[in-house]
Amino acid sequence: MLKKSQKTNNSYLIKQLPQATVFVDIRKAIVFVSDKWLYDFDFASSAVIGKSIISLFKNSNMEWQNAISECLKELPNLTLTESHIDANGIKKWYELQSTPWYDENENVIGTILQMKDITVRVLAENKLEKLEVIFEDISEIAEIGFWDYNLAEDKMFWDSRTKAIHEVAEDYSPNFIDSLNFYKLGNSRNTISMTVNKAITHEVPFSEKLQIVTAKGNELRVITSGKPLYKNGKFSGMVGTIQNVNERHLNEEKTHENQRLLRTLIDNLPLGVSIKDLESRRILVNKSEMEFCNVTSEQDIIGKDDFNFFDKSQAEITRKDDLAVMRDLKPILRKEVTHNEGNDEQSTYLISKIPLIDSDEHAYGLVSIRMNISEIKQKELELRKLIDVTSSQNKKLINFAHIVSHNLRSHSANISMLLDFLAAEKSDLERGKLMKMLLKASNNLLETLDNLNEVVHITTNTSLRKKQVKLNTKIAAVKQNLSAELNQHNIKVLNSIRDNVKIRVVPAYIDSILTNFMTNVIKYRSPKRNSFVKLSSSTEENYTVLHIEDNGLGIDLDKYGEKLFGMYKTFHENKDAKGIGLYITKNQIEAMGGKIAVDSTVGKGTTFKIYFNDKD
């Protein structure tokens, strides 16, 4: 036991210790405490002396209670680090140091516990630890290496990642110049030299994207950053990072290249391409589409819809299609659309519209592709015309071949038959008869040949020159030639054609055509009434049309319509009819680029309409 005076003395000394200290006897009751300890744990002096230290902390966190118990096991010089959470929930870290308490005779009479508040240090350590981990992660992921240059020693420190970037061995140790020599000769080397120089003289940090050539000869893109350091106002060194951005750079390059490629591609397509948003406003267009909308710069077209460029009606159709594509998520493919180009010209386009669909299966716009097929259309039209002409000519040719064959065969058959009879005939009288018939057959053959010749001449002679003639002059001449017959049958010619009407014709053909029609009027007049023929003219498209109307016999077009203009077709009991006139007439009219139409009623009369082509 301690003497009373000594005890008081000890108590006073311990009370003033700067560190939180508590003396505990072997029964774990508190004997002495420092004021600091009381302050740290918020106890009153009177409330703790003689009290069990265990009971004092019975409401503390379990870890703390365990640590206290550990410290009271009378082990020599134990140091623990543990946290204490007070009644207010505030957590503080302490370094607990326990030392056995000896009396003068070196007997252990308890434990001296010192508790040092190390909360600030622990928190700082934790933070640093965390930062280090994060830092390591970042530099690994981002491939960032560190370097540190010391001017006094002219030593360049590279961390392992910097070395890895430069592809040098772990023991490689460069000086300042060595490190700069890794930068590629030319722009990169110049830039790093100038930048470093500027950084040192102006005391500014730097960051540059440059190219290095590694020890193994590989070219890499890096971002080098650095900051100059100063000691007593004098440059002392530099620290910085180097980041490998080669892959990123290559990706960026690739992306740029792809963008350029795409742009070049769509700009040079012979198609108008535009990408539109939900409101049908253009987001992207190519050159061809800009030309179509008659704008020269992208600014004039981006963000604008069809209503800005075209008729309301036309724009409405486009908008309707756009909406349908985006609503149904179904493309419109190769829709044929005609477009007014303004200057009276119409163009034909094939338009395809493809919806742009996001990952939620909603449309966010569409791609519109426009192809001008006007030329193809034009060609197609010309081709179709050519086919029509060719097939009609072909039909004519076959028809003509049949006619030739038929007519020549029928006459030669007759001649052959008559010759057979003649060879077998004994009677002179009969032979004379047969000879007469043979002569007739031979004449018929010659006449047929003449007719065919005339037809061939018309069909093959396409080089005949057309001239402009006054229609009335030609009519007057024909009327003059036929005046005897017209007068004889008392046929009135009622001409209402104005004198200035002109037609473009082959003069010889128009004489023949008019003569033939007028002759037909005379031949097929009705004996039951006073005959007349009315002549008039009109204009239809490219044609000047001559109308020839008579009140003659008329013809049943239902029965004979197809054959009216055929060769050797006659329809009336008329001995003068040869069935060649209208065939030749039709050929002549068609050879001049015209056409012919007929309207007739039996017993009433016939109207022919002859179309003279004004253009070609």
Partner 1 sequence: MIKINSICIIDDDPITVFGMRRMLDTLVTYNTINTFENGKQAIDGIKAMMLAGKEIPEVIFLDINMPIMDGWQFLKEFIALPIKDKVRINIITSSIDSTDAHNWKLYKDKTHHTVTYNHKPIRKQEIAEITKVA
Task: Please say whether the dihedral angle defined by the alpha carbons of residues 113, 119, 122 and 126, taken in this order, is positive or negative.
Answer: positive
Closest to partner 1 by CB, 171 or 573 = 573
**Which range of residues in 42-50, 267-275, 292-300, 416-424 is near partner 1 by CB under 8 A?**
416-424
Kindly state whether residue 501 participates in binding partner 1, applying the rule CB under 8 A. no
Cβ–Cβ under 8 Å, residues 418 and 437: yes
Residue 231 touching partner 1 (CB under 8 A): no
Distances 267 to 253, 259, 351, 361, 409 between C-alpha atoms, Å: 21, 12, 17, 29, 69
Placement of tokens 């015209």 in the chain: 594
Q: Min. distance of Cβ 574 from partner 1 in angstroms?
A: 9
Binding-residue pattern over the window 425 to 464 for partner 1, x denoting contact by CB under 8 A: ------------x--xx-----------------------
Q: How near is the Cβ of 571 to partner 1 at its closest, in Å?
A: 6
Asked whether position 400 contacts partner 1 by CB under 8 A, the answer is no
Which tokens sit at 418? 């008559």
Measured from the CB atom, the residue of 577 and 598 that comes closer to partner 1 is 577
> Does residue 579 bind partner 1 (CB under 8 A)?
yes
CB-neighbour burial class of residue 418 (10 A; exposed 0-12, middle 13-18, buried 19+): buried
Does position 569 interact with partner 1 (CB under 8 A)? The reply is yes
| Binding residue (CB under 8 A) for partner 1 from 572, 597, 599, 603 | 572
Q: How many CA atoms lie within 13 A of 463 on its CB side?
A: 0
The least distance separating partner 1 from the CB of residue 393, rounded to whole angstroms, comes to 18
The least distance separating partner 1 from the CB of residue 588, rounded to whole angstroms, comes to 22
In this structure, the number of other CB atoms found within 10 A of the CB of residue 108 comes to: 12
Q: How far is the CB of 413 from partner 1 (least distance, A)?
A: 3
- In angstroms, give the least distance from the CB of 568 to partner 1: 7
Residue window 519-558: x/- pattern of binding to partner 1, with contact defined by CB under 8 A: ----------------------------------------
Among 559, 562, 597, 601, binds partner 1 (CB under 8 A): 559
Q: What is the DSSP letter of 555?
A: -
Total residues binding partner 1 (CB under 8 A): 25
Closest of 464, 455, 477 to residue 504, by C-alpha: 464
Q: Is 254 in the site for partner 1 (CB under 8 A)?
A: no
570 belongs to the binding site for partner 1 (CB under 8 A): yes
Contact 144, 243 (CB under 8 A): yes
**How far apart are CB 287 and partner 1 at their closest, in Å?**
58
Taking CB under 8 A as the rule, does residue 31 contact partner 1?
A: no
Whole-angstrom Cα distance, residue 613 to residue 610? 10
DSSP for 432-473?
A: HHHHHHHHHHHHHHHHHHHHHHHHHHHHH-TTPPPEEEEHHH
568 binding partner 1? (CB under 8 A): yes
Backbone φ and ψ for 528, nearest 5 degrees, come out as -85, -10
Q: Which range, of 158-166, 315-323, 359-367, 398-406, touches partner 1 by CB under 8 A?
A: 398-406
| Contact residue for partner 1 among 231, 409, 467, 604 (CB under 8 A) | 409
C-alpha separations of 95 from 21, 78, 127 in Å: 12, 10, 19
Q: Are strands 492-495 and 532-540 parallel, antiparallel or unpaired?
A: parallel
Binding partner 1 by CB under 8 A: which of 192, 418, 491, 545?
418
- Closest by alpha carbon to 287, among 308, 306, 309, 265? 265
Binding residues for partner 1 (CB under 8 A):
402, 405-407, 409-410, 412-414, 416-418, 421, 437, 440-441, 559, 568-573, 577, 579
